[in-house]
Amino acid sequence: MADPSTLATITRKVVLVTGANSGIGLALCERLLAEDGEIHLCLACRNMQRAEAAKAALLLSHPGSDINLLRVDVGNIKSVIEAAQEIMQRYQRLDYLYLNAGIMPNPRINLKAFINGLFSSKVISMFATGEGLLTQEDWVTDDGLQQVFMTNVFGHFLLIRGLEPLLGQPGCPSQVIWTSSNNARKSAFSLTDYQHGHGQESYSSSKYATDLLSVALNKHYNSQVSSVAFVIDHRPITSTSKELVPSIECEVFR
Ligand SMILES: NC(=O)c1ccc[n+]([C@@H]2O[C@H](COP(=O)([O-])OP(=O)(O)OC[C@H]3O[C@@H](n4cnc5c(N)ncnc54)[C@H](OP(=O)(O)O)[C@@H]3O)[C@@H](O)[C@H]2O)c1
């Protein structure tokens, strides 16, 4: 006889959120459980202690919820491949895949750009979006890839590819939802340097790349799998504000 927890994930919608243990990811999980207490929610995190703490917090506000944990470091190729295999073993369906984990390491003010911007026509957009204002630190991972690209883009892309057999099962369409940013900028992105190894706006480049990928995935898959990138505004820079989770998520969720 099948394990009851397996049976539950056949009938319940399965929702997986990367970077679910804090900030927008955790706020998103709160919102998802508030919208539908019947889902099976999988918190995909790199640190299991923080994941356990997030699960405990969610169970406190939503007692009896069906919450599971999965270890994944989206900045590490091996970890992503293993996580995809684990998900494939655990679940028969994957309704919503929220690609939320992300990093913007040590943004610093580019003083020269700031002073130039003050006296240019771009002054308002500079203050509104930080365009050209922040230099974003980056480095190379053990896998030989740029860290920001790997974490924000490629790790998640690998996860999608690894989960393809599970996505869009007959009668069970899947949605892939990227957390993008108003800091995504075409001017920061180049196809000849898509990892942004030679620039100073790795974060803006990575978020633009996720927007592009989201569009490309819709072309690649049939209607059983759809992809959307939702934009979070960087102005209220806080990682805990629930107001940052826009209503679009709930619309997507329905
Ligand atoms: N906050 C904003 O104003 C804002 C604006 C626009 C877009 N965003 C985007 O929103 C998303 C969430 O950001 P946030 O503000 O909530 O940031 P946060 O509070 O720093 O949370 C980021 C989450 O991603 C996880 N994470 C980072 N690197 C990871 C990795 N290699 N593998 C697995 N998980 C990893 C973190 O886990 P740990 O706890 O283990 O570090 C954490 O759970 C990001 O994609 C970010 O770019 C944020």
Residue 6 pLDDT grade (very low, low, confident, very high; cuts 50, 70, 90): low
65-88 confidence digits (pLDDT tens): 999 999 999 999 999 999 999 999
Joined tokens for residue 36: 């539908």
Query: Identity (one letter) of the amino acid at 75?
Result: G
Query: Ligand 1 pocket, 25 CB below 6 A?
Result: yes
How would you class 147 by CB atoms within 10 Å of its CB: exposed for 0-12, middle for 13-18, buried for 19 or more? buried
Residue 254 above 70 pLDDT? no
Q: How far is CA 68 from CA 39, 91, 150, 177, in A?
A: 11, 11, 25, 19
Please name the residue that has the structure tokens 């470091």.
73
Query: Ligand 1 pocket, 249 CB below 6 A?
Result: no
* pLDDT (0 to 100) of residue 237: 38
Residue 126 pLDDT grade (very low, low, confident, very high; cuts 50, 70, 90): confident
CB atoms inside a 10 Å sphere around CB 243: 8
Cα(7) to centroid(ligand 1), Å: 32
* pLDDT (0 to 100) of residue 87: 97
Separation of alpha carbons 165 and 215, rounded Å: 20
Residue 246 above 50 pLDDT? no
Residue 129 above 70 pLDDT? no
End-to-end CA distance of the chain: 32
Joined tokens for residue 65: 């919820």
Query: Ligand 1 pocket, 147 CB below 6 A?
Result: no
Query: Identity (one letter) of the amino acid at 135?
Result: T
Single out the catalytic residue among 96, 98, 203, 208. 203
The verdict on whether 203 is a catalytic residue reads yes
144-203 confidence digits (pLDDT tens): 999 999 999 999 999 999 999 999 988 889 999 999 998 898 999 999 999 999 988 999
Cα(25) to centroid(ligand 1), Å: 7
13-65 confidence digits (pLDDT tens): 999 999 999 999 999 999 999 999 999 999 999 999 999 999 999 999 999 99
Q: What is the pTM of this model?
A: 0.86
Q: What is the CA radius of gyration of the chain?
A: 19
Domains of the chain: 14-106+146-233 (3.40.50.720)
